Amino acid sequence: MATSFIRTPRQYEQDCHILHSYFSGNFGAISNKEVVRIFVNRDSNALKLVCQTYSHWYGQDLLQFVSNVQRNNSFARIAYLRMVEPYERDAQLLRHSLFGGSLNLNTLIEVACTRPSSELLQIKHCYQTQYKSDLEKDLTMKISGGFKEILVTVLRSCRNYSSKVDMSLAMCDAKTLYEALESGKNIDQRTIISVLSRRNNGQVRAILSSYKQLYGHELSKSVKRSKCGQFGKELQVVIRCIQHPEKFFAKQLRMKNADGREILIRTVVTRSRIDIKGINKAFATKTGSSLENLVVREFGSSKNKNNDIVVGILVGLIKGC
């Protein structure tokens, strides 16, 4: 849990001293618990002030330093993800998913479908500023098939951001989607895309809830049938991610991927204080084991100070302590 008291400059200096000792290799001057406590207990605003204080005292950009070494250092990766601005972090994730080698659809879906529409607007602006490029155009250029149309639709829908959910409108949209799926031999893709493009993620969740209330089953099951084809399969993935993000993340964590450690670190760090407890529950339901156990299996096998700190931070973020 984030510290609730107001921290003084002296307390930020103590954090900086601990981090400087660690990164300088002076491990005898600090304990693992001191390092873990910084990245578990400090919120994003506090960590931003730690970075500013570090620059003042040591003349070094701490965020840039951990960014430079994060590729092969799990602790540095965690530190970077905790300290960088969330919008900048997500813009970088999207850019790397599109241009970092092979296309990473799962990460694209993760960011586009689990972030609130208000955050997506900020992410798109950050992407434009950082890379001098339009996210929707880049996505259209790099992705083919139904996912291209569906994900561009989700990104465009954030323009309709509103903090209020209109349940009457959701009921009407649910009926429209039902007709698009059931009224003919083939589904009406254009109508489905039109509805989704005009509703932000919060409103889409309300539509999905209304659909189940009206017809007794989830929309994702309706698009699973053969007449929906590949478009239906791809739409199902996106819909499930919007409706049940905790299940999406739990599934990603269960998959055997070459970048499994990155997915574990990113999920725990980016979803802490949001829905990490729900992800942990969904993961345990399918595997009979907890995320804490997964962390220990991945990082706790070797007697390494760096790995001990990684385990401490990730387990602390999962527990919310």
Q: Which residues are annotated as a binding site for Ca(2+)?
A: 23, 25, 28, 296, 298
- DSSP string of 206-267, one letter each residue: HHHHHHHHHHSS-HHHHTTSGGGHHHHHHHHHHHHHHH-HHHHHHHHHHS--TTHHHHHHHH
Q: Alpha-carbon distance 297 to 291, whole Å? A: 10
Helices (H), 100-145: 105-114, 117-131, 135-142
Q: Alpha-carbon distance 292 to 295, whole Å? A: 5
Which of left, alpha, beta for 29 (phi over 0: left; psi -120 to 50: alpha)? alpha
Q: Alpha-carbon distance 15 to 306, whole Å? A: 17
Nearest to 269 by CA among 126, 51, 76: 76
Annotated binding site: 23, 25, 28, 296, 298
46: which residues sit within 8 A by CB, 6+ positions away?
2, 3, 7, 12
Nearest to 291 by CA among 319, 257, 321: 319
Q: Alpha-carbon distance 192 to 181, whole Å? A: 8
For residue 79, give Cα distances in angstroms to 49, 64, 173: 14, 11, 43
